[in-house]
Amino acid sequence: MTGLRRWAARAAALALTTALIGAGTELTGDGPALDHAGPAPGPTSPESPEPDGRTRLLGDGSTAATGPQPHQPTPARLEPGTKPPQFVVFSWDGAGEDGNRLFSRFRKLAKKHDASMTYFLSGLYVLPEEQRARYHPPRHSVGASDISFLSDGHIRATLRELRLAWLDGSEVGTHFNGHFCGRGGIRDWTTADWHSEIGQSKYFVQHWKTTTGWKGMPPLPFDYDKELIGGRTPCLEGRDNLLPAARDMGFRYDSSGNGTQVWPGKEEGLWDLPLQQIPMPGRAFETLSMDYNFLANQSGTVKGDPARRAYWERQWHDGLLQGFRRAHEGNRAPMIIGNHFEQWNAGIYMDGLAEVIKTVCPLEDVRCVSFKQLVDWLDVQDPRVLAKLRTLGVGEKPKDGWNTFLR
């Protein structure tokens, strides 16, 4: 049985279990669903620009210091009596480009709508399968992984999209490596295990020229030691022991939690930016703001009843917009949305999400940002202002208006 089929069978069983609960946790294994054939962008692709003259190659030349990241907003403190901007973060677990070309689709859509996003890269997506013995997963055999490795062509495509996404202003975070969920998986890892996993995820990004042998391709235009400031754990598990390791290794935030639409605070010195409970239209409960959690409560499988797909897409789309409006018209808490580059249920989650991006990102008082841009903004705010914002409940607007509330 291939890695994909193992994952699909396991995910379907887990989904049927979680479909009975409203929130649950993220239960998905990531990985491009199909290793479709398709043109692999080569080192001379016109969409793979070389960094400019400020480039300083790092290590084996897989990454480079190229100066400040383009298209970054300058964070500023809220003026007294002003309403906070409505932040929306679109984030992607796994972040690999396969023949479905969803990474490139949403990167281009983000650019069109002046949005930045966060791409949580699985480190194994830039490691050739024949080099899998370089991965030493904690508490598992050498080279083991619960997600599939990519073909060489799709590794090239993923490197291209990572390069362009960063140049567009988006962030490259981490989804770690082997995606070991459930019993015997990451929920049992120690802080030392997480140190090893983080270190390896950085190594694969910083040494892809060594592992692939593709010396002629341009480097990723960032220093990953500085770029990597946050991540999301597979299946939202193992967070307690992750946080101390993440803090030690320079992270500034974590997005592995299960939360609600309120203003964030810090835990273990990191900004806690969890997925959030949002409405599921037509149901009596809320569920997490992630495509897979809607799927788990809809079809319970990645290939559900075709006759139901149009309804499920509207339910996903409308649930996201209801959550957005609740924040936008209420406490203005940042909205956190999680996704996967997958064609589950014939791509309805991708299509519904695309419409949400087109709807919310052009609004004048909305900022579609990366997690890095969000924490940059949070870090410059008056702590007393943030503390007051955290007194507002889900959907709660200030009783006497924003002018009075933050005066």
Per-residue model confidence (pLDDT) at position 52: 53
Per-residue model confidence (pLDDT) at position 17: 33
Closest by CA position to 269, among listed 286, 285, 249 = 249
Q: Is residue 14 part of a domain?
A: yes
pTM: 0.89
Domain count, the chain: 1
Per-residue model confidence (pLDDT) at position 54: 76
Q: Which amino acid is at 78?
A: L
Q: Is residue 247 part of a domain?
A: yes
Alpha-carbon distance of 161 to 143, in angstroms, equals 25
In this prediction, residue 38 has a pLDDT band, given cuts at 50, 70 and 90, of: very low
Q: Is residue 48 part of a domain?
A: no
In this prediction, residue 407 has a pLDDT band, given cuts at 50, 70 and 90, of: confident
Alpha-carbon distance of 336 to 253, in angstroms, equals 13
Other beta carbons within 10 Å of 284: 6
Per-residue model confidence (pLDDT) at position 201: 98
Maximum distance among all alpha carbons in the chain?
63
State pLDDT tens for residues 186-221.
999 999 999 999 999 999 999 999 999 999 999 999
Model confidence at 14: pLDDT above 90: no
Per-residue model confidence (pLDDT) at position 53: 58
Higher pLDDT, 274 or 8: 274
State pLDDT tens for residues 319-373.
999 999 999 999 999 999 999 999 999 999 999 999 999 999 999 999 999 999 9
Q: Is residue 74 part of a domain?
A: no
Per-residue model confidence (pLDDT) at position 1: 33
Backbone angles phi, psi at 402, to 5 degrees: -70, -30
Model confidence at 27: pLDDT above 80: no
**Which three-class secondary structure state does DSSP give residue 269?**
coil
Model confidence at 40: pLDDT above 80: no
Q: 398: which 2 tokens?
A: 């200030």
Per-residue model confidence (pLDDT) at position 315: 98
Torsion sign, CA atoms 16, 17, 20, 21: negative
Per-residue model confidence (pLDDT) at position 97: 98
Give me the domain span that covers residue 107.
3-21+81-405
Whether residue 211 contacts residue 268, with contact meaning beta carbons closer than 8 Å, is answered with no
* pLDDT (average), residues 155-179: 98
Q: 139: which 2 tokens?
A: 């508490």
* pLDDT (average), residues 132-158: 98
Q: Is residue 266 part of a domain?
A: yes
State pLDDT tens for residues 79-132.
999 999 999 999 999 999 999 999 999 999 999 999 999 999 999 999 999 999
SS3 content of the chain, % helix, strand, coil (to 5): 40, 15, 45
Q: Is residue 253 part of a domain?
A: yes
Model confidence at 18: pLDDT above 60: no
- Helices and strands, counts by H and E, the chain: 13, 13
The CATH number that applies at residue 86 is 3.20.20.370
What is the overall mean pLDDT for the chain?
89
Model confidence at 7: pLDDT above 60: no
Closest by CA position to 302, among listed 256, 339, 348, 354 = 348
State pLDDT tens for residues 282-320.
999 999 999 999 999 999 999 999 999 999 999 999 999
